[in-house]
Structure formats: C-alpha cells, structure tokens
Amino acid sequence: MEGFLKKLKEEEDVNFLKLDVYENSYNFELLQQLDYDNLCGGLPYYYNLQTHYNICGATTYHNLRNWALNRKCNPNEPPNDEM
C-alpha cells in the first residue's frame, strides 16, 4: 500500500496523514471513533475527512485513488495483483 500512496502523491499531489495507533493511545481512540461500529476492526484503515468515506484494509490502486480524490469508493474492495 505504501507504493500506492507514493504514486498518488506523485501523480495527484495528494497528501496523507499517517497515524500510529500502536504507540499512541490518542490515535487508537480516534480510530475507534471513526470505525465506531467496528465494521473494519483492522489496519490499514483509510479515512477521508472531506467525504467521510473509508477503506478497510489493503485495496486496489483504482479504489484508493477514488477515495483520495473524494470520489465514491468501495470500503471493502480486496487488492488484486497490481500490488
């Protein structure tokens, strides 16, 4: 997924804020609030502050790009061979 994030930064000038939920209890509490129904319950967890769309786990580049560009995305789309 790191490669996808780097590619989005280069191609679309999208910035990401990465929070450590293992070492920082505040960030862990924030994750629990964002995933309030515990529908994801895992990492990575991507949350868009503008659209409130999220992605749970690894996904395709196309899906992550839609999410990053404020477009409709599938929160549970599994990754494919492009990783």
> How many other CB atoms are there within 10 angstroms of residue 55's CB atom?
24
CA distance 2 to 8: 10
pLDDT bin (cut points 50, 70, 90) of residue 42 is: confident
Q: Give the side-chain half-sphere CA count within 13 A for 25.
A: 0
Strand partners, 54: 47
pLDDT bin (cut points 50, 70, 90) of residue 83 is: low
Percentage of the residues of the chain whose pLDDT score is greater than 70: 99
CA distance 45 to 25: 16
* Mean predicted lDDT score pLDDT of the chain: 93
Q: What is the pTM of this model?
A: 0.89
* Amino acid in position 62: H
Domain ranges within the chain, ordered by starting residue: 2-68
